[in-house]
Amino acid sequence: MPGHDFNLPAGLEDLGELAYNLWWSWTPRAQSLFSRIDSATWTRHRNPIQVLRAADAARWAELSADEDFMVDASRLLDEFHRYLGNGSESWYATSPERELPGPIAYFCAEFGIHESMQIYSGGLGVLAGDHCKSASDAALPFVAVGLLYRRGYFRQQIDADGHQEHAQPDLDPWELPLRRARGRDGSPLQVSVEIADREVHAAVWVAQVGRVPILLLDTEVPANDPSDRPITHILYVRGREMRLCQELVLGRGGVRALRALGIDPAVWHLNEGHSAFLLVERAGELVAGEPGLAAGEALRRVGRDAVFTIHTPVPAGNEVFARDLVTRALGQWFGTARMEPNELLELGRGHTDDPDAPFDMTAFVLRHATGANAVSQLHGATATETWQGLAGHPIDAITNGVHVPTWLGRPVRRLIQRAIGVPLGVDMNGPDALAKLGEVDGEELWAAHQQQKREMVGFLENRLARQFARHGESPDVLRSVRGVLDPDALTIGFARRFATYKRAALLFSDEERLSRILDATDRPVQIVIAGKAHPADRPGQRVIQHIFELSRSERLRGRVFIVEDYDMRIGRFLVGGVDIWLNNPRRPMEASGTSGMKAAINGIPSISILDGWWDEGFNGRNGWAIGDREADGDDGAQDAADAGELYRLLEEEIVPRFFERDASGLPAAWLPVMRASVESALWQFSTARMLSEYVDRLYLPAVRTPVGA
C-alpha cells in the first residue's frame, strides 16, 4: 500500500507530508488540527496516518469550505515548512566553530517518539527519542538507527487480583508514520547480515523526526526463512540467542543500511551496548579494503570515531552473551576478518577471570570507543569506579535531559512563553532567556497548574473506569469512579519501570502511618502510580500486585490508584498534573531518572533520594531530599531509614506547606518551590543543554582525534 496516497484536496496536499513527519508529536497545534479532521479516529489511534486514511471526499469538501480550518491549516503548514528550513537560528548553526564534517550516526535499541509507535519500553527509549528531537531542533547533522518491533513492547493489563498480564501489540508499519527507505536506485532498501551459516535480510523503514531520520530495520520480509522473520518482532525478547540475533541486525545491519544510502557518518554514537557489533562490522570493512590489516588493529581504528553512552549501573542493563553463541553467530565474520574467535571474545571480557566468561558488550565497546559518558554526575563517579580500569580512562558525565516542547504542558508552556518572550515549540538556544522566569506571576502559575491537574484527573478517571469495567465491577462502582480523584488533594505521582531497586513499595512500608497521612479530612493526600515490570521480572510483578492489593484495601481504597499500561501519554498527564513527584531508588542504582526532570519543568517539585539527576539537581529550594548521601550497607536498615524520612517529610514539611493558603486562597509557601523547580530544570535538564555538551565533549573530540592516536 502506498504510504502517501490520501487523495487530499487542493490547499491541503502538504498534510500528507506533515502526517509522515513526527514533528507533529511535539506540536500541540498539529495534533489539534488532525483531531478536527476526525476526532473519533484521532482519539482511538492518536496517529495522523489513520486520520487521513479515514477521511472521505465528503469530509474533505466540508473542511475545504471551513474558512477557519483552512486558515489554521495554512498557518500550521507554513510553520512546518519554516521549521524544516536551514535551521539558521539554532544554537548549532550559530556556532560555526562546532561544525561537524558529517552526520552523527546514533544507534539505540529503542526509540520513544510518541505513544502511537510502541517500539520503546521506558527511559532509554524516551531519552533516545528526545535526543533525536533536540538534534532536529538544533539542525544538527544526525541520523539514528534502530529496529522496527512489529510486536512492540508489551501492553500491560492488571487483572482483578493485581496480576500483571502481557499482550503484544500487532503493529502494521503501513498504518504508522513510517515509509520504506529507498536505495540510491529508487527501489525499497533491504540489507542482509550473515548470522551463523545463513543470511538474514532486513527491510529498512524511515521514521522522520523533524529534520532527523530514524532508520528502523525489520526482518519480517519474504526473503527470510520463517524462523528468522520474528528476529525484530519483540523489544527486549527474553531468549538469549534471539536477542543476540537482534543486536547483530542492529549493529551490523545498521552500518550496511547507512552505506547503502550513501551516508558517511563523522561520529558513531552507541547509546548503550546493544549496538556493539557495529564496531565488528566496520572493522570487517577495513580488513576487506586493506588485506594486510589485522582485525584487532581494525577494531582499534574504528573506535577512534566511536563514542559510547552507558545508561545504567544495574548489571542486567549491561548486555552479555555466552561465548559459544557469539562464536557461532559470527562464524563467517571470523573467516573473512581473519580473526580467531578467542581474540574477539577476550576483547569482550568483563570483570572476571572465568575462562568461560561471557562476551560483555559494554566492556567490548569501552575498550575501543574514543570517548564514553555516564548520564549524571553521580553515575559518572560510579561508572568510573566500575569501568575505568578496563576502559583506561575515567567515564565522563553528561547528565540526561528532556525535550522541553514534548513534556511541557500547554497551560504552563503558554505562561512561561509569555514571561520569557521566547516560543517553546523548539529548544531554547541557551539559558539567557530564563532570567525573566522570575516574572512568572504566582497566581497565574497556580492557575496553569490547576488546569493541568484537572486535565489529568479527567484522563485518569476515564482510564480507571475502563480498568474497573474489565474487572467486572458493578455499574454503581463504575459511576463512582467519576469524581474518585480529589482535585483538591495533594497528589503524589510515582511512575517508572517496576525494577525492584526502584523500591516502588517504600511508601507503603508502614500502612498505618501512611493511612493517617492520606486520610486527614482537612489536608487530603492521594497517590497515583503507574509502571510496568518486564515480563521476565517476577519480583517486580509481585511489587505491582502488592501495591494493587493495598489500593483495594479498606484502609487505602480511594486514596491510592494504580493506572495500567504506562506509556508516554500517561507520562505526559502525570508529569504535568500531579503536585509532587516521588522517586526513591536504592542509591546509587538510578543512573539518571528523567521523569523528575519532566515534572520539574512543569513546576512540580520532587521528593527524592539523592540519586541520579536529583543528586545534582536538588538545590534546597526546588523540592525535598530523602536522607543524605551516606549509604547503610544493610539494605533492610536503609529501606527503613528512608521510609521513615519520607513519612517525616510528608507529615512535617510537604503536606503542611501545600495546604498553607493566603487570604486569596493561594499556597503562598508552595509557589516558590514550584517556581524554583522550573528555574532549575528548564535549561539545565533539557536535551538542548545535553546535546550541546555531547557536541562539545564527545562528538567534536572524536572527529579531531589524531590519526595515529
Please state, in angstroms and rounded to a whole number, the distance separating the CA atoms of residues 497 and 121.
Answer: 9
Helix or strand holding residue 679 (H, E): helix 671-681
pLDDT over 90, % of the chain:
88
Predicted confidence band at 482 (pLDDT cuts at 50, 70, 90)?
Answer: confident
Here the cell at position 418 is 509569555
**pLDDT over 60 at 1, yes or no:** no
Write the DSSP symbol of residue 436.
Answer: G
**pLDDT over 50 at 708, yes or no:** no
Start-to-end CA distance of the chain, whole Å, equals 50
For 9, 94, 176, 427, 595, the CA distances from 89, given in Å and listed in that order, are 33, 6, 31, 11, 29
Please state, in angstroms and rounded to a whole number, the distance separating the CA atoms of residues 506 and 66.
Answer: 55
Q: What are phi and psi of 209, to 5 degrees?
A: -110, 90
Closest to 441 measured CA to CA, from 306, 622, 603: 603
User: Please, are residues 521 and 658 in contact by the beta-carbon 8 Å criterion?
Assistant: no
pLDDT (tens digit, 9 = 90+) per residue, 127-162?
A: 999 999 999 999 999 999 999 999 999 999 999 999
| Superfamily of domain covering 96-401+692-703 | Glycogen Phosphorylase B; (3.40.50.2000)
Predicted confidence band at 707 (pLDDT cuts at 50, 70, 90)?
Answer: very low
- Looking only at the bridges linking them, the beta strands covering 267-271 and 306-309 are parallel
3-state helix vs strand vs coil in the chain, percent to 5: 50, 15, 40
Here the cell at position 325 is 553463541
pLDDT (tens digit, 9 = 90+) per residue, 60-110?
A: 999 999 999 999 999 999 999 999 998 888 999 999 999 999 999 999 999
Q: Return the exposure string of 35-64: e unless at least 16 CB atoms fall within 10 Å of the residue's CB, then b.
A: bbbbeebbeebbbbbbbbbebeeeebeebb
pLDDT (tens digit, 9 = 90+) per residue, 239-268?
A: 999 999 999 999 999 999 999 999 999 999
pLDDT (tens digit, 9 = 90+) per residue, 581-638?
A: 999 999 998 999 999 999 999 999 999 999 999 999 999 999 999 998 887 778 899 9
Q: Cα–chain-centroid distance for residue 689?
A: 17
Q: What are phi and psi of 544, to 5 degrees?
A: -60, -45
Q: Strand, helix or coil at 220? A: coil
Contacts with 407 (C-beta within 8 Å, 6 or more apart), sequence order: 572, 575, 576, 598, 601, 602
- Write the DSSP string, 278-336: HHHHHHHHHHHHSTT--HHHHHHHHGGGEEEE---SSGGGS-EE-HHHHHHHTHHHHHH
Q: Strand, helix or coil at 218? A: strand
User: Please, are residues 308 and 146 in contact by the beta-carbon 8 Å criterion?
Assistant: no
96-401+692-703 and 404-685 in the same fold = yes
Here the cell at position 564 is 495500567
Q: Which long-range contacts (CB under 8 A, 24 or more apart) does 547-554 make?
A: 547/162, 547/504, 547/505, 547/508, 548/158, 548/161, 548/162, 549/161, 549/162, 550/508, 550/511, 552/162, 553/511
Residue with cell 548486555: 319
Here the cell at position 493 is 505521582
Predicted confidence band at 706 (pLDDT cuts at 50, 70, 90)?
Answer: low
User: Please, are residues 272 and 108 in contact by the beta-carbon 8 Å criterion?
Assistant: yes
At residue 315, the pLDDT reads 64
Write the DSSP symbol of residue 575.
Answer: H
Higher pLDDT, residue 708 or 618: 618
Q: What are phi and psi of 15, to 5 degrees?
A: -60, -30
Q: Is 513 exposed, middle or buried (0-12, 13-18, 19+ CB in 10 A)?
A: middle
* Four-way CATH pick for 404-685: 3.60.20.10, 3.40.50.2000, 1.10.10.10, 3.40.190.10: 3.40.50.2000
Write the DSSP symbol of residue 402.
Answer: B
Here the cell at position 591 is 543512573
Please state, in angstroms and rounded to a whole number, the distance separating the CA atoms of residues 93 and 89.
Answer: 6
Higher pLDDT, residue 498 or 279: 279
pLDDT (tens digit, 9 = 90+) per residue, 353-387?
A: 999 999 999 999 999 999 999 999 999 999 999 99
Here the cell at position 195 is 548470522
Domain limits of the chain?
15-83, 96-401+692-703, 404-685
Instruction: Give the mean pLDDT of the chain.
Output: 94
Q: Cα–chain-centroid distance for residue 536?
A: 21
For 87, 413, 514, the CA distances from 682, given in Å and listed in that order, are 22, 11, 33
At residue 27, the pLDDT reads 97
Please state, in angstroms and rounded to a whole number, the distance separating the CA atoms of residues 557 and 314.
Answer: 34
At residue 285, the pLDDT reads 97
Radius of gyration, alpha carbons of the chain: 25
At residue 705, the pLDDT reads 65
Q: What average pLDDT does range 446-458 have in this prediction?
A: 98
Closest to 363 measured CA to CA, from 436, 424, 310: 310
pLDDT (tens digit, 9 = 90+) per residue, 180-237?
A: 999 989 999 999 999 999 999 999 999 999 999 999 999 999 999 999 999 999 999 9
Contacts with 685 (C-beta within 8 Å, 6 or more apart), sequence order: 399, 400, 401, 402, 594, 597, 600, 601, 613, 617
User: Please, are residues 281 and 308 in contact by the beta-carbon 8 Å criterion?
Assistant: no
pLDDT (tens digit, 9 = 90+) per residue, 379-430?
A: 999 999 999 999 999 999 999 999 999 999 999 999 999 999 989 999 998 9
Rounded to the nearest 10°, the torsion over CA 432, 438, 442, 443 is: -70
- Write the DSSP string, 228-282: TGGGGTSTT-S-HHHHHHHHHIIIIIHHHHHHHTT---SEEEEESGGGTHHHHHH
**pLDDT over 90 at 480, yes or no:** no
Please state, in angstroms and rounded to a whole number, the distance separating the CA atoms of residues 247 and 331.
Answer: 16
At residue 312, the pLDDT reads 83
Please state, in angstroms and rounded to a whole number, the distance separating the CA atoms of residues 648 and 49.
Answer: 50
Please state, in angstroms and rounded to a whole number, the distance separating the CA atoms of residues 183 and 691.
Answer: 30
Q: What average pLDDT does range 327-335 have in this prediction?
A: 98
Contacts with 252 (C-beta within 8 Å, 6 or more apart), sequence order: 193, 277, 278, 280, 281
